[in-house]
Amino acid sequence: MIATGKGTQFAAICATSLALLIVGAMFAMLINNIFLIPIMATALALLPFVYAKSTIYYYDKHIEEEIETALSIITTSYIRSDDIVSAVKENLTYLKPPVNGIFRSFVGEATAIDSNIKKSLHRLKDKIDNAIFKEWVDTIIACQDDRTLKDTLLPVVTKLTDVRIVNNELKTMLTEPRKEYFMMVAMVVGNIPLLYLLNKDWYNTLMFSIPGKFILAVCGVTILVTALLMAKYTKPIEFKR
């Protein structure tokens, strides 16, 4: 959350989560279903963290897109000039925040603070948590001692493109299963008010009898667990070194 510029909101997210936990527990007590208390409390308490995770995901996606552009043009310039500082400096105008600020900081450190390029590159490496970016910086560091290694830079940059293409294909493939899952959840939840309209005796049995309350709790647990599993198994792939 700090990297996204919303680090100060973490306390607010935790407070909101606590408030929603209480709301969920109170709602379960309001409908007089003790089996649903932990389920509703947990489900609502997780919502702020789902929002936070979504924010981080879109931030990481934006970073990866900007890194792909930045590394591509900087690598092309570096292969031509053999000077990483000059290669970064001449392309700063083409870079967008927050990547622009990170590389601008590198140029400032390398030219005004510490002339040791390797040290500046190591500091640059720690500023972005991306395995391909770190591999690229490691290759640049190795190039400071052996210029012939420049030919290995473009294949490293290509990995970012490959990961993006695979993630886009994966997203397309998973769109339909996700849609079907949410439709099934909507059908399960929607059956409760539908049952009220069709047969009030069945509705009363479901809502007010012990077996009915237990069935609602089982449905709630199933929805919560399957939602967490869906989020786990449909998340974007990440490159691992």
Write down the pTM of the prediction: 0.76
Instruction: Decide if 239 is inside a domain.
Output: no
74 falls within a domain:
yes
Work out how many domains the chain is built from and give that number: 1
Q: Is residue 241 part of a domain?
A: no
Is residue 57 assigned to a domain?
yes
With a pLDDT cut of 90, the percent of the chain lying above it is 62
Closest CA to 17 of 50, 55, 45, 51: 45
- The reply to whether 238 falls in a domain is no
Note the pLDDT tens digit of each residue in 188-197: 999 999 999 9
Residue 1 lies in a domain: no
| Structure tokens given for 50 | 């789902």
The string of pLDDT tens digits covering residues 70-113 is 999 999 999 999 899 999 999 999 999 889 999 999 999 888 87
Report yes or no on 35 lying in a domain.
Answer: yes
Q: What is the mean pLDDT of residues 145-172?
A: 89
Between 1 and 240, the more confident residue is: 240
Q: Which domain holds residue 120?
A: 7-233
User: Which pLDDT value is given to residue 21?
Assistant: 96
Q: Is residue 103 part of a domain?
A: yes
Residue with tokens 């792909």: 68
